[in-house]
Amino acid sequence: MKLDRRTRSWGRHAGLMFAALAMLLAGCTSYVTTQVTAFSNWDGGSDATRTYAFQRTTSQANSLEDSTYEQVVANELATHAFRQVDMDRAHYLVAIAYGTRSDMAVSSAPAYYYDPWPGPYYWGRPYGWGGGPWGPWGPYGGGYVTQSYPVFTHTLGIRITDRASGKEVYNVTARSSGDEASLVYAMPFLARSAMADFPLGNGVVRTVKLPVDGQGGAPNEVAAGAAAPAAPASGAKAVQ
């Protein structure tokens, strides 16, 4: 009976501990962290001159994927007074490039265990294997476990050129890494980060953190057949 009471007591303590941990995690905000690199020769101009058209390669011309990502970028450009017009009326041309790379990462972590029934004997030997009632590793075990897991790096590049002269005036790249495999999910975060605080100075490299909403969604969800509503870039947190 004494063993049963100890078991029940340990179970109650463990249950309370996990419940407290769940409440703590529920109150935390998740972020997507993106590294942004910008090269700029932006001369300012007025809102009236911020007309643009997307510049596409032959392979992009009839791509549904490209047109979907262009709409996400267009939403962010709109927050900076850019207006999409026909090619022959555009002051600027905007080109996008994107991609995903998959790598394997390896990590090592301590392996833990807990004996809920400590006593003067451990595995048939008094006081463990050398020093104390829990054996040589203490009450929580020892050793290391090595694990491999995939890491996905998503990249979005936005290039703005003056249509009349062909001169590049702004070139920004946003890159994020994590366990999310979907570029569709990552694209709104990349676009928001790339255009946050436009225009950045030449050669600026910084980190942008964007919160994930309560449903685990992106700041601008990709919507098929319709533009997602533009949202201000003020939600971005920049770490210089």
**Domains in the chain, start-ordered, CATH in brackets?**
36-100+151-225+233-239 (3.30.160)
Per-residue confidence (pLDDT) for residue 185, from 0 to 100: 94
Give the tens place of pLDDT for each residue, 60-108. Answer: 889 999 999 999 999 999 999 999 999 999 999 999 999 999 887 777 7
Per-residue confidence (pLDDT) for residue 113, from 0 to 100: 56
100 pairs with which residues across the strands? 154
pTM above 0.75, yes or no: no
Please answer whether residues 171 and 45 qualify as being in contact, where contact means their C-beta atoms are separated by less than 8 angstroms: no
Q: Where are the beta strands (DSSP E) in the chain?
A: 31-40, 51-54, 83-84, 92-110, 121-122, 125-126, 144-162, 168-178, 204-211, 237-239
Backbone φ, ψ for residue 128 (5° rounding): 75, -155
Please answer whether residues 75 and 227 qualify as being in contact, where contact means their C-beta atoms are separated by less than 8 angstroms: yes
Chunked into runs of 10 residues, the chain (240 residues) has average pLDDT values of 48 46 50 96 85 93 94 97 96 97 77 55 44 47 73 96 96 95 95 97 96 62 38 48
Per-residue confidence (pLDDT) for residue 105, from 0 to 100: 73
Using CA atoms of 7, 8, 12, 14 in order, give the dihedral in degrees to the nearest 10: 20
